[in-house]
A and B are shown apart, each in its own frame.
Chain A
Amino acid sequence: EVQLVESGGGLVQPGRSLKLSCLASGFTFSNYGMNWIRQAPGKGLEWVASISSSSSYIYYADTVKGRFTISRDNAKNTLYLQMTSLRSEDTALYYCARHHTMGFDYWGQGVMVTVSS
């Protein structure tokens, strides 16, 4: 069974940093691109970042470019999102999602990040 389990969220002050993790199981992690997608409270979905299976291709939304870094460790089956210079508008539920040619076919349950003083 495919599982994606996010961790590392919490309450953080504006300007500080936080690192999210997503532990994958039930599939060959190194064969798939992975993404972070977020959802602010009561709002819609926003794609944040993507990374190809071998980390050769990495892309970011303009809203996080230069502040967030997506990475992965295929030996540990883990996806990461390093978030720096956090702003109140980064407050959201962060999902990791597996990317298949058909789309985002599996999603985690999400991890909450709250940026507030």
Chain B
Amino acid sequence: DVVLTQTPVSLSVTLGDQASISCRSSQSLEYSDGYTYLEWYLQKPGQSPQLLIYEVSNRFSGVPDRFIGSGSGTDFTLKISRVEPEDLGVYYCFQATHDPMYTFGAGTKLELK
């Protein structure tokens, strides 16, 4: 099974800072069609998760451009350029390349310093 390892487990930031979250996969996430099905989700406190990024770097509808996804192969990063209060919560990476065994990372909690 594909294992996604997220680091750090938690991240304390000051509003306006940049935050960076890493997601490393135990296998390459590049699919045979050339696409890489790596997604990022944010779960705000008390809410359902919401889709932020798909196919490594594409922002979902309505997601601010301060969210930047990057990476390839087995190493991926989500950067938040200027953290705002509504960005706090738990971030999860997710892979849909190795279907049908989809997997989430364990999550990274973004909180205020």
**Chain A residues in contact with chain B, CB under 8 A?**
37, 44-47, 50, 57, 59-62, 95, 102-105, 107-110
CB–CB B39/A47 < 8 A:
no
User: B104 touches which one: A46, A62, A109 (CB < 8 A)?
Assistant: A46
CB–CB B49/A107 < 8 A:
yes
List the A side residues contacting B99 at CB < 8 Å.
59
**Chain B residues in contact with chain A, CB under 8 A?**
1, 39, 41, 43, 48-51, 54-55, 58, 60, 90, 92, 94, 96, 99-107
List the A side residues contacting B92 at CB < 8 Å.
44-45
CB–CB B102/A102 < 8 A:
no
> Which B residue's beta carbon lies closest to that of A107?
B48
CB–CB A44/B60 < 8 A:
no
CB–CB B39/A44 < 8 A:
no
CB–CB B51/A95 < 8 A:
no
Whole-angstrom distance between the Cβ of B27 and the nearest chain A Cβ: 16
List the B side residues contacting A107 at CB < 8 Å.
48-50
CB–CB A45/B101 < 8 A:
no
> Which A residue's beta carbon lies closest to that of B104?
A45
Whole-angstrom distance between the Cβ of A70 and the nearest chain B Cβ: 12
User: A47 touches which one: B54, B103, B107 (CB < 8 A)?
Assistant: B103
> Which A residue's beta carbon lies closest to that of B39?
A103
A44 to B60, CA, bound (A): 22
